[in-house]
């Protein structure tokens, strides 16, 4: 559905507001060693609030154990969000080697799976449930469907609530632009991004202490 000129302008204005608000937060927390990550919980909280305030008819069809989108799409994250996910995983004292193995297996199988048209499950999907649901990526929080059958059939168009999509995208884009002002963000598929963070942490741990 195409946006009117007024709707487009409102969308762009929303992006700019989010960017400015988060630039201020980043500037104020710049002395903290992991300061870029401060905006990620804020982004996730905003997306969850948008989702909870969205009322649709028909209702959102997504439910626990429904994992069609976890097989159907390649999730992309930026550098800050990938780091946040890894740090949360570590904070929960989960097996870091298990995370590396899952992500590497996904990357190793990626080319063959896509060449054959096979649906590849997210490396963090376990028993049809998201294993990092509390700190899942922003694009996963934005994703929703009003028609389960459309998801099951891998339809090209998944009906969604437009207002929720626009508000969510404004937050995601605004935060991304704010982060880019301080530290250019790489955008990569989730598995590759997490492996990159894990490699960086491994290098840091192997460096001799000053």
Least confident of 15-19, 31-35, 69-73, 175-179: 31-35
Find the helix or strand (DSSP H, E) in which 100 lies: helix 96-115
pLDDT digits (tens, 9 = 90+) for 20-45: 999 999 988 888 877 788 899 999 99
pLDDT(51) > 90: yes
E strand intervals along 30-126: 76-78, 125-126
pTM of this prediction?
Answer: 0.91
Q: Calculate the alpha carbon distances from 83 to 3, 41, 56 in Å.
A: 34, 12, 34
User: What are 143-200's pLDDT values in tens digits?
Assistant: 999 999 999 888 889 999 999 999 999 999 999 999 999 888 999 999 999 999 999 9
H or E stretch covering 151: helix 148-152
- On whether the CB atoms of residues 25 and 38 are closer than 8 A, the answer is yes
Query: β-strand 187-189 against 76-78: which pairing, if any?
Result: antiparallel
pLDDT computed for residue 123 by the predictor: 95
DSSP element (H, E) containing 129: strand 129-130
Instruction: Report the distance separating Cα 72 and Cα 121, nearest Å.
Output: 8
**What token pair was written down for 126?**
């376990």
Question: Distance (Å, rounded) from C-alpha 3 to C-alpha 15?
Answer: 15
Q: Which residue has the tokens 């097989």?
A: 71
CA angle 187, 85, 122 (to 5 degrees): 70
Query: Measured in Å, how far apart are the chain's first and last C-alpha atoms?
Result: 57
């Amino acid at each position: 559905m195409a946006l009117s000129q007024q709707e487009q302008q409102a969308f762009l204005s929303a992006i700019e507001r989010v960017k400015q608000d988060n630039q201020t937060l980043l500037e104020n927390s710049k002395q903290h060693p992991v300061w870029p990550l401060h905006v990620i919980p804020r982004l996730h909280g905003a997306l969850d609030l948008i989702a909870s305030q969205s009322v649709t008819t028909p209702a959102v069809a997504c439910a626990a154990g429904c994992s069609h989108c976890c097989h159907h799409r390649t999730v992309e994250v930026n550098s800050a969000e990938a780091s946040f996910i890894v740090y949360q995983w570590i904070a929960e004292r989960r097996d870091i080697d298990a995370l590396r193995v899952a992500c590497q297996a996904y990357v190793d199988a990626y080319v063959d799976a896509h060449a054959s048209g096979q649906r590849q499950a997210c490396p963090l999907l376990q028993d049809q449930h998201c294993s990092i649901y509390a700190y899942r990526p922003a694009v996963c929080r934005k994703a929703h469907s009003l028609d389960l059958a459309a998801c099951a059939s891998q339809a090209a168009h998944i009906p969604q609530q437009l207002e929720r999509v626009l508000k969510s995208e404004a937050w995601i884009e605004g935060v991304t632009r704010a982060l880019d002002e301080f530290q250019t963000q790489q955008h990569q598929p989730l598995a590759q991004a997490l492996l990159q963070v894990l490699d960086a942490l491994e290098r840091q741990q192997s460096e001799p202490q000053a």
